[in-house]
Structure 1
Amino acid sequence: MMWAYRVDGPGFVRRIERPDDRRELAPGQVRLRFMVAGLCGSDMPKLNGIVVRKGTPAHDGAPIHEVVGEVVESASATLPVGQRVVGTGGGVTGLCEFLVVPDQRLIPVPDALGDVEAVSIQSLGTVLRAADRLPDLSGKRVAVIGAGPIGLSFLHVLKQRGAAHLTSIDPVDREDTARRYGADEFVRMRSTQWVDTLQDHERPAVVVEAVGHQHASITDALRAVADHGFVYGFGSPDDPDYVLPYQQIYERGLTLHAGRTLGDWHGVLAGSRDYLLKHRDDFSDYVSHVIPASDAQTAYSLYARPQRGRLKVAIVAD
């Protein structure tokens, strides 16, 4: 038997015991013993029943995908039994004692990093991959909508890449943290309100939307950006169709880019590992709460409510 969690109604999870299905691993797969997982904004719609993977009932598991684990069984040529690894796996059923993940989505954890520190590698990697798609930021005004964990990662990365003036926008009072991660200016208001305050000379050349899950912030980013500017939609959508201000896009020569991280997870994770090791001190408070798996409901409830002082929430094995 193994412990696992299942969604037990919108916003609620319940711990259960279920048989450990020790089916034979496919080539390249490894079986992990759960050590740590990080909660992500993209887990919340699944928790609330808004998004469920096709063919998978919501009650079969609890969503989590940023994982650190120990390899306990291996059909991989590169990840032996006993190896500590970090990566992406689990999806809507990730919060369980053992999970099977393809080795292409994992890399070894360096000895220098603790388990909780290492869990940030997956999400930071997606930010670095997105930043590779942005235009040259040298000397430019840049804005990031959202100052949660993803928004903070963007602040750090974009400052390192040469942004001359970096604005962070969030209705939650996260000014001290945003400035530590690279913001030159913090605007405590909703993005819709922020847009209405902008003078033409204050408009950023690049805007990153790091909120997702609703329509307004993408529209706000397009309204805020300077003429011929670039908007990157990072936050994941909950709806299949969005209504966008196409006339503004057309007449002002704007570029809208979006997309999830696909493909070379080894490269994404390795680049993130190296970045985190280089800037380890800067990310020392990135995981603000560490909660045991036996109290997973507290972790999900905490993460679901944006608030001052709450950044990345990690769930650790008891």
Structure 2
Amino acid sequence: MKAGQLTGYRTVEVVDVPDPTFGSDEALVRINFISVCGSDMRYFSRALPENQYPLSPGQPNHECIGVIEDGGSGSFKKGDRVIVFPDNNDGLKQFLVAPADRMILIPDWGKLEHWLMCQHVGTVLYSCKRMGSVVGQNIVILGQGGIGLAFTRFLKQMGALKVIAVDYLDNRLDFARTLGADATVNCNDPQFLDTIKECTDGVGPDIVVEAAGTEESVNQGIAIAKRMGKLIHFGQMKDNVIQYDFATAFDKNLDCIFTASSRAGLMKWAVTQSVAMVEKGSLDLGPLVTHQLPFSDLQKAYDMFTDRQDDIMKVVVST
């Protein structure tokens, strides 16, 4: 079968690997689509030590959806459509083997590539649960990629008084307004911080959601949050160690909450919630998929996502 493999800095190759084998309590899933995630950039868009290349076939990716081709596990059977959580972040494969606790059943209607968006949106639902009630709160969301836009929609629906979306790409800010953002701010504007204060009556937001995953945005979040406000950490950093304005966070008595559903062991729960919302018709994730490419263009998909080309939001790759 074919698999993608990170063989060097910003270099993904399509390689041949043996077909997988599976046990009696596992299912063989034919993967139809994968989606590039921002957390993949920790490996793709930063130079790793040379001795770490190449990564194992299939890495780095964890957003996968397909159809069970053989075997079964628990309540799953051949022909079921499933979101799959690969064990080792090795989702860039035409086939994956998974036990029941690493799959979520998808209804037999709708486009698979749209259902796949439930994977990353579910992680946002977990983060929203961690931050508690937002009714009547002013909230700033730093970053309006697929993750940030999901925050914008959910937090407005959850009763936030004012949702302020921040990004450096105007097309993403335009999208945020269609999802309920009360105000949008381009962070490249020299008056960015002053504008945030004006939008929050001079005191700063009650909650700041850091969904960009950069050192700069983390410290911007600390700077703009109101005293005794909340800073929700969601974005993953490319670097393991960053400069963090601890003194300001400490002085403001900020509640800094780290929200990663996979680290909490609640990824399946979180994604199941987003699947249920789509199934009920209360959530339409199709508009997030702005680009679709074949497996042979895997390199192009990762380059487009990394460089924010062509107004990209989420790119899916058919295997």
Q: Specify if TM > 0.5.
A: yes
**One-letter amino acid of the structure 2 residue matched with residue 102 of structure 1:** P
**How far apart are residue 118 of structure 1 and its match?**
0.6
CA distance, structure 2, for counterparts of residue 274 and residue 133 of structure 1: 19
* CA distance 1:136–1:102, shift in 2 (3 Å): same
Q: Does 1:139 align with 2:136?
A: yes
**One-letter amino acid of the structure 1 residue matched with residue 209 of structure 2:** V
CA distance, structure 2, for counterparts of residue 99 and residue 64 of structure 1: 12
* CA distance 1:221–1:13, shift in 2 (3 Å): same
CA distance, structure 1, for counterparts of residue 288 and residue 223 of structure 2: 30
**How far apart are residue 201 of structure 1 and its match?**
2.2
Conserved in 2, the CA contact under 8 Å of 1:4 and 1:61?
yes
Range that drifts further, 192-201 or 71-80: 192-201
Q: Does 1:255 align with 2:255?
A: yes
Range that drifts further, 185-194 or 301-310: 185-194
Other-structure match for 1:295:
297
Other-structure match for 1:15:
14
**How far apart are residue 229 of structure 1 and its match?**
0.4
Other-structure match for 1:118:
115
Conserved in 2, the CA contact under 8 Å of 1:141 and 1:163?
yes
Conserved in 2, the CA contact under 8 Å of 1:51 and 1:238?
no
Aligned length: 312
**How far apart are residue 101 of structure 1 and its match?**
2.5
CA distance, structure 2, for counterparts of residue 159 and residue 272 of structure 1: 16
List aligned pairs for 1:64-79, cutoff 5 A: 64-79=61-76
**How far apart are residue 43 of structure 1 and its match?**
0.8
CA distance, structure 2, for counterparts of residue 129 and residue 316 of structure 1: 28
Conserved in 1, the CA contact under 8 Å of 2:56 and 2:90?
no
Conserved in 1, the CA contact under 8 Å of 2:41 and 2:238?
no
Q: Does 1:150 align with 2:147?
A: yes
Other-structure match for 1:201:
201
Conserved in 2, the CA contact under 8 Å of 1:64 and 1:90?
no
**How far apart are residue 122 of structure 1 and its match?**
0.6
* CA distance 1:95–1:288, shift in 2 (3 Å): same
SS in 1 for 2:9: coil
CA distance, structure 1, for counterparts of residue 150 and residue 48 of structure 2: 25
Other-structure match for 1:245:
245
**One-letter amino acid of the structure 2 residue matched with residue 277 of structure 1:** E
Please give the per-residue CA displacement for 1:213-240, whole angstroms capped at 9, x wherever unaligned.
Answer: x322111101111111001010012333
CA RMSD of aligned residues (A): 2.5
Correspondence for 1:60 among 52, 57, 62: 57
> Structure 2 regions of 5+ residues with no counterpart?
none
Other-structure match for 1:310:
312
Other-structure match for 2:4:
5
Range that drifts further, 86-95 or 148-157: 86-95
Conserved in 1, the CA contact under 8 Å of 2:20 and 2:95?
no
> Structure 1 regions of 5+ residues with no counterpart?
none
Conserved in 2, the CA contact under 8 Å of 1:140 and 1:165?
yes
Conserved in 2, the CA contact under 8 Å of 1:72 and 1:81?
yes
* CA distance 1:73–1:169, shift in 2 (3 Å): same
Q: Does 1:105 align with 2:112?
A: no
* CA distance 1:176–1:128, shift in 2 (3 Å): same
List aligned pairs for 1:262-281, cutoff 5 A: 262-278=264-280
Q: Does 1:221 align with 2:218?
A: no
CA distance, structure 2, for counterparts of residue 308 and residue 194 of structure 1: 25
Conserved in 1, the CA contact under 8 Å of 2:107 and 2:279?
no
Please give the per-residue CA displacement for 1:173-226, whole angstroms capped at 9, x wherever unaligned.
Answer: 1222010122111111249962354437241100100011x3221111011111
List aligned pairs for 1:80-91, cutoff 5 A: 80-89=77-86, 91=88
Please give the per-residue CA displacement for 1:86-141, whole angstroms capped at 9, x wherever unaligned.
Answer: 14226443211111233212211112321111110110100000100113211111
Please give the per-residue CA displacement for 1:145-191, whole angstroms capped at 9, x wherever unaligned.
Answer: 00111100110111111111111111111222010122111111249
Q: TM (normalized to structure 2)?
A: 0.89
SS in 2 for 1:122: helix
Conserved in 2, the CA contact under 8 Å of 1:90 and 1:99?
no
**How far apart are residue 57 of structure 1 and its match?**
4.3
Q: Does 1:189 align with 2:187?
A: yes
Conserved in 2, the CA contact under 8 Å of 1:37 and 1:314?
yes
Q: Does 1:130 align with 2:132?
A: no
* Large movers: runs of 4+ above 6 Å: none
Conserved in 2, the CA contact under 8 Å of 1:47 and 1:62?
no
SS in 2 for 1:162: coil
CA distance, structure 2, for counterparts of residue 148 and residue 265 of structure 1: 20
Please give the per-residue CA displacement for 1:253-278, whole angstroms capped at 9, x wherever unaligned.
Answer: 21101131132344222211122334
Conserved in 2, the CA contact under 8 Å of 1:104 and 1:265?
no
